[in-house]
Structure 1
Amino acid sequence: MYKVKVNEQFQFDIEIEKNNLKVNGEDIFIDSAELNNGIAHLLYKHQSYNTEVISIDKAAKTCQVKVNGTVYAVNVEDQYDQLLQQLGLDNLASNKITEIKAPMPGLVLNVMVAEDAEVKKGDSLLILEAMKMENILKSSTDGIVKKIAVVKGDKVEKNQILIQFK
């Protein structure tokens, strides 16, 4: 069973067995025709719906879907997410990263953030040159930069703290 939350407001329990679809325990019959990549036309209870998958984040199990011109944010929990939640282990994966350490010895070529700057997951933080290659270190989480422990031109050792988050 999947738990699907739409726009952080509406929650549905969805079961898929062979070609049967159940939403909140009720059998649902949808006639669908895929038109292009991610675009489909659906018929449900004599109503027509044009749908398009706008984006998918498989790691976060989220997507954005446009239905008849309206965009919906969809979050999906599968049986494993639900089991982790029941066991109280769902918070372990989201432990907050408090610092970025040098993955290898190298030379700081550029620091791309400032203290008190807000960063998002995937934002570039600094460039570290190691073994004649430039490595861009990116944020693995959303956060606010508390302290930058290096400046351009610093030589760093493996596991040396480069940036700390609040």
Structure 2
Amino acid sequence: MAAEAKNEPFHITVNDQYSIDVLPDEAHALDVVPDGPARYHVLHQGHAFWVETMHADCDARTFAFRIDGQVFTVQIADFYTRLVQQLGMAKASGHRSNVVKAPMPGLVLQVLVAPGQSVQKGDPLLILEAMKMENVLKAANEGMVKEVLVQGGQTVEKGSNLVVLQ
């Protein structure tokens, strides 16, 4: 029996308390107007909100937003992420990726490391701007920077190799 992901819901958890499933076909359109590097004016169903992005970790699919002064943490899981969690393999450490890839298309604003530099898990490697939002890509593991494959000002596609660690 093969796992099917077609039109499977995204599971969204807010503040570790509230969960909703959203089907791709049911995604709601929002009218979003940027008002700075991480601040947006959002209109939805006749209601206006000020939204500020406080944290965005695209690899972990976790985000923190301040909406009209109140902070919300959001975690998004797709079909495959939920399947891995349900099978108890989410914490498996058998695979260690040495290549940092672009989680989305964007513009490399700044490279923060150089070849030969030692990094610890969580150290910032580069800043990628996507959809007018700055995303700091961090080292998933400790190691040494073997190669930097991009430079500031370079446009990258989703899945592009950015940094190689050893």
Please classify the TM superposition score into its range, dividing by the shorter chain length: 0.3 to 0.5
**Structure label with greater radius of gyration:** 1
Task: Compute the TM-score of the two structures, normalised by the length of structure 2.
Answer: 0.47
Task: Compute the TM-score of the two structures, normalised by the length of structure 1.
Answer: 0.47
